[in-house]
Amino acid sequence: MRFFEMLLIVFNIFLFGWFIFAKNKSQRQLLIGFGISAIITLLHGVIEGMRWQMIPAYTMTVVPLVILASRLKSKPEERVAIKASSVKRITLTALAVIYSSVAVALPLILPVFTFEKPTGSYKIGTVTYDWRDNQREETLTPESGDKRELMVQIWYPADATAEGEGVKYHSNADVFAKAYGSMMNLPKLLFTTFGYVKTHAIENARISNQESTYPVLIFSHGFSGHKNQNTFQIEQLVSHGYIVVGIDHTYNSMVSVFPDGRVANLISDDSDSVAQLNQTNEIWVEDAKFVLDQVEKLAKADPDHRFTGRMDMQNIGMFGHSFGGAATTQMVMEDSRIKAAINMDGVPYGKRSISVGGLKKPFMMMTADESTDNSDFGGFIETIMTKNNDAAHNKNYWMKFKNMTHYGFSDSHLLSPLYEKLEGVDIREAHRLINDYSLDFFNHYIKQQPFKLLEQTIGDHPKFTLQTN
């Protein structure tokens, strides 16, 4: 709950109780109290933005004013009668308790959540691109001649003097709220909270000169996800000196919004077969290769002069969630530019089989305990852990999270604490573990730094089990 939201609710509940129970309260005192409530409401609206979850709290500001106004118009003998009515007072008290509970519960159940402050020394900058691959036809639309077009967001270490407000999690909040609602068959209103969430990234900030170049990590979201669905993880990596490139896989993402206002909604096929999913995976792999090509161009000659000579294209990693994890696994085998990768709960799809030759590169698998109950998934992980031709230099790791869900690897569970209650997941703790071990893995295999966690914590732990080959 945001500061002025909390202040407004607490003050209004106190004011409401005082209005009902206090004796010898003057009209002047009442007007001052309700005036303060109105000022807090105004500050909340201007600074934080008003939202529907706070309607009961807003009403707590207005209704007592109406009651006060009616009392001012009533005759003295009528006021005495009102005071003498114990039944009316009990009824009013009960309604006040119920209403106050609702006013508190709604903002808590659907809070404007915040991302934890990244632990690295770098501030975070971000910029977004609209890239069209003129060499590929768009196969997911009926129109012939369409070319594959992708929205891409890049996060990078920003200069220490960079100032500005963190960009919104979703700049097109209404479009995304509608997309969330449509995907989950729930009212759009439940997802408007995302529109108030802000990140730590400053748009178009100057890149930091603390290091001459920064290694690059590619991020691929889950099916029906979006390029910034792992902001909790992306910001942490960037704060420690990485450039992260997030891809929206158009028509397979929740929704893609292009600069000219065009909206590409999710196209889902309920009859998806393994063959179809393998074909879709290939499209995602080609997306990643194309984006890497574009990133190489930026590194050589950025028209905005931001990334020219600042990207370490000799040290590139990749990570992905779910279907994006599957695309990441394929990229490790297909693209020599990828040096190391992390797959977060992604089942095996794609044209290349891991069982033939292994991965031959450092690889980390993160899974939820519920996912590995699937025998096919378990077999896939077993293959990863055994098929590596050079385990001395290219080790594989498997980190199995206990009491974890598939979507716990993304930002989605931050929407409401109900997820944690229903699923039994401590999502903040899970995110910290994901961040710590992702950073340690990439620091070693991309930045050539000594391990601080991975090799030191092999074995079983209360929150996870870690294995290596």
Average pLDDT score over residue span 364-384? 79
Question: Which range in 11-20, 180-189, 291-300 is most confidently predicted, on average pLDDT?
Answer: 291-300
**What is the pLDDT at residue 86?**
62
CA distance 253 to 258: 13
**In terms of pLDDT, which residue wins out, 444 or 389?**
444
Do residues 135 and 237 share a domain? yes
Do residues 99 and 137 share a domain? no
What value, to the nearest 5°, has the Cα angle with vertex 356 and ends 332 and 382? 80
Do residues 72 and 127 share a domain? no
Do residues 146 and 101 share a domain? no
Low-confidence winner among 9-13, 89-93, 211-215, 415-419 (lowest mean pLDDT) = 89-93
In a domain, 359, yes or no: yes
Q: What CATH code is carried by the domain that includes residue 321?
A: 3.40.50.1820
**In terms of pLDDT, which residue wins out, 347 or 399?**
399
**In terms of pLDDT, which residue wins out, 144 or 385?**
144
> What value does the mean pLDDT of the chain take?
87
**What is the pLDDT at residue 304?**
95
Average pLDDT score over residue span 108-119? 89
Domain edge (last residue) among 84, 109, 134: 109
CA distance 392 to 105: 54
Query: pLDDT grade, residue 193 (50/70/90)?
Result: confident
Question: Which range in 60-64, 253-257, 347-351 is most confidently predicted, on average pLDDT?
Answer: 253-257
Structure tokens at 250: 């158009």
Is the pLDDT reported for residue 43 higher than 80?
yes
Query: pLDDT grade, residue 57 (50/70/90)?
Result: confident
CA distance 237 to 155: 10
**What is the pLDDT at residue 299?**
97
Query: pLDDT grade, residue 87 (50/70/90)?
Result: low
Is the pLDDT reported for residue 72 higher than 80?
no
**What is the pLDDT at residue 23?**
72
Distances (CA, A) of 436 to 119, 234, 237: 10, 12, 9
CA distance 210 to 71: 66
Query: pLDDT grade, residue 414 (50/70/90)?
Result: very high
Average pLDDT score over residue span 48-53? 84
**In terms of pLDDT, which residue wins out, 360 or 368?**
368
Do residues 293 and 435 share a domain? yes
Do residues 20 and 155 share a domain? no
Is the pLDDT reported for residue 318 higher than 50?
yes
Is the pLDDT reported for residue 388 higher than 60?
no
Query: pLDDT grade, residue 92 (50/70/90)?
Result: low
In order, the DSSP letters of 334-400 are: H-TTEEEEEEES----SSS-TTTTB--S-EEEEEETTGGGSHHHHHHHHHHHH-BTTTTTS-EEEEE
Low-confidence winner among 86-90, 119-123, 249-253 (lowest mean pLDDT) = 86-90
**What is the pLDDT at residue 88?**
62
- Contact call for residues 348 and 328 (beta carbons, < 8 A): no
Q: What is the pTM of this model?
A: 0.84
Low-confidence winner among 61-70, 141-150, 236-245, 405-414 (lowest mean pLDDT) = 61-70
In a domain, 116, yes or no: no
Of 254, 389, 393, 263, residue with least CA distance to 324: 254
Percentage of the chain with pLDDT > 70? 88
Do residues 59 and 98 share a domain? yes
Query: Residue 45's domain spans which residues?
Result: 3-109
Structure tokens at 219: 């991020």
**What is the pLDDT at residue 81?**
47
In a domain, 118, yes or no: no
Of 407, 353, 412, 418, residue with least CA distance to 380: 353
In order, the DSSP letters of 110-166 are: S----PPPP-SS-EEEEEEEEEEEEEEE-TTSSSTT-EEEEEEEEEEEEPTT---PP
Do residues 308 and 457 share a domain? yes
Do residues 132 and 97 share a domain? no
**What is the pLDDT at residue 270?**
60
**Residues in contact with 184: Cβ distance below 8 Å, sequence separation at least 6, in sequence order:** none
In order, the DSSP letters of 192-204 are: GGGGG-B-SEEET
In a domain, 297, yes or no: yes
In a domain, 114, yes or no: no
Low-confidence winner among 51-60, 215-224, 233-242, 358-367 (lowest mean pLDDT) = 51-60
Is the pLDDT reported for residue 132 higher than 60?
yes
Is the pLDDT reported for residue 78 higher than 90?
no
Query: pLDDT grade, residue 460 (50/70/90)?
Result: very high
In a domain, 46, yes or no: yes
Structural domains in the chain (count):
2
Average pLDDT score over residue span 267-295? 89
Domain edge (last residue) among 109, 137, 157: 109
CA distance 458 to 461: 9
Do residues 428 and 374 share a domain? yes
**Strands 243-247, 147-158: pairing kind:** antiparallel
In a domain, 117, yes or no: no
Domain edge (last residue) among 47, 81, 109: 109
Average pLDDT score over residue span 111-119? 93
Do residues 241 and 383 share a domain? yes
In a domain, 115, yes or no: no
Do residues 30 and 135 share a domain? no
Is the pLDDT reported for residue 406 higher than 80?
yes
